A and B are shown apart, each in its own frame.
Chain A
């Protein structure tokens, strides 16, 4: 994974977001006075990018303080908007670091249905293999049809072994077995893929807690990371998702997927504001190499079209 490719990939991925937001910006601010009407239009644009009404209001308030009544150009607006957004995102741009002494570092991957958990696990396995680590995968989505087979394909692609169990069997039991084996055979990372679940279903959330309880019987410090996978096309409900998952299973960081297609992604800003939850990675495609570290500056500049 060449680092140089990162810029172009992310930029490409964010191109749509950029086009949308900057198109709007362009029409609002060619060079005009930053008055109430202009500020309102700008606030609308931010809301339209899924930043949420609160964050949009905050950003606009900052603008009002420093620039109200001034003549501003489009470029100036973008620069300061990017800086405003980057300032919010910078503290949460924290990579997921694998502690190779743990053998294995257990990563529990959780999220609502259809966000891209299995794909993210596959991509992570690829990335760790490339870094010279030995990852093991546990297919703990025993509920959805063919979820295990989907992960097994990723296992073949990346050369990582996949622990699986028959359909509808106990996910916690499988996680326990996987940890036993990973410990015995000295794997560096154990990636546990779980079934998608809506955060408002108490019973299903309880099931996740059970997985954690069972893992701790072998290793009281496990899971070392709990990665919540979030779909970037999700709107304000993402706040609720993060809130509940955090409370129930102590999420330690986020992976934001499908940033290559969504016209927005602004929810990431709202999430950073609300929870200061680390954002570990962003997904920008369906291929194994399409998972990237999250960079606040690039993301913010990309979002406003710089």
Chain B
């Protein structure tokens, strides 16, 4: 989600990195760009100012002047301050230290994603922590909101409070807690109606609910696309209710997500979870250090590894790694890899996590690649490979014109498609070789761009067929 900000800051710091020494003017100039980038990314103005002041204080002074590589040092300072502002290293877990049934109160503006998030948290707590969860909708405002939560509860396989028309939100909250005690639930998630922070009446109502149920967590749900107003909202809800955590939704969008940066600074409440999709399992921990790294163009490598380890067949991956290390990577492995990739989600979301891939992603989109990278294409590629003989898969070099024709016919594609796939495989194997050369450390340092052939020299070299 921070791609746009990342690319802006990379331009700024590329300039800084190139220079050996760094003076005050350099820093100020760079910080002006940082300020603009942060504002364009919807970080709230007061937070931007505070951020810039902190960085400047640390950047202009001994720390930088005495260091060997001043440019790097500034990048590091910006990174450090970013992590600090986002809440320090590590994810903050939901607080479940209370007597069961533990109430969790969900609040926020209309359309921020409270109900969907309630369903996601319900699923997460029941599958990961084996908790017995009850979902209760206190939304008597929006038509069919209660029904929506009931359906989600069904999909998540957790309990839902029966709907009784005509009850007030406070009455529903009481009934939910009673039901929770009687039917021995561990967690009761109370999903409230969306409300404006300036609506005194509705804010009073939710305050009463809070006083009645004494929730262990009062979670503010905020859309990652929110503009400058995010801070006002967070402040108002925090002042009224004492927010214990923030959930950022729609992190799978392309909003620059400045709201994340300002929220924590203004409320002091940690961002605990992020929503990144419409499916119920699309809920992730918020890791400030990863997000800060992403802002600075270092990529969310850890996030990618985590997602990979959750979805990939471990044995398969190890086998592949051994083959790559030996430089023996054939089309069978390629096919296996394609299959693994589809398990991990869309390619562009994976690319977004790789260091230096922001630009690559933009290039792909520009060349119509976004649509070209969907599952359909991958399936077609898998079909092409399965139309090859074992011998062809092991040694793709033997595939010449007549074999190509046969493969194309067998998989229902054109010869050009076969060519494209072979070229892709070719690129990939050469990338693997580079990766071996660079080693793990080099990959972390230089990012994905080090692997891209012809990145610096302009156009990619084409292999004739």
Contacts and interface: CB of A to CB of B under 8 A. Distances in A.
Contacts, number: 143
A235 B111 contact: no
B229 interface: yes
B258 A235 contact: yes
B109 A237 contact: no
A146 interface: yes
Contacts of A202: 370-371, 374
A75 to B, nearest CB: 24
Interface in B102-158: 109-113, 141-145, 147-152, 155
A20 B44 CA distance: 14
B111 A258 contact: yes
B333 interface: no
Interface centre among B109, B223, B229, by most chain A C-beta atoms within 10 angstroms, is B229
Interface in B18-54: 36, 39-42, 44-45
Contacts of A154: 143
B227 interface: yes
Interface of A: 16, 20, 44, 47-50, 52-53, 112-116, 119, 143-147, 149-150, 152-154, 198-203, 206, 231, 233-238, 240-241, 258, 260-264, 267, 286
Interface stretch (B209-217, B249-257, B296-304, B423-431): B249-257
Contacts of B374: 202-203
B228 interface: yes
Interface stretch (B194-202, B435-443, B448-456): B194-202
Question: Interface range on chain B: under 10, 10 to 19, 20 to 34, or 35 or more?
Answer: 35 or more
Contacts of A115: 111
Contact of B112 (A114, A119, A203, A262): A114
Contact of B144 (A49, A50, A153, A206): A153
Contacts of B258: 235
25 contacts: A47-B39, A53-B36, A53-B39, A53-B40, A112-B225, A113-B111, A113-B250, A116-B111, A143-B278, A144-B148, A145-B151, A146-B145, A146-B151, A147-B148, A200-B254, A201-B252, A202-B374, A203-B371, A203-B374, A234-B227, A235-B42, A235-B229, A235-B255, A237-B253, A238-B227
A262 B229 contact: yes
Interface in B197-247: 197-199, 223, 225-230, 232-233
Interface string B259-281: 10000000000000000001000
Given A48-B45, A53-B39, A113-B278, A145 B227 contact: no
Contacts of A150: 142-145, 148
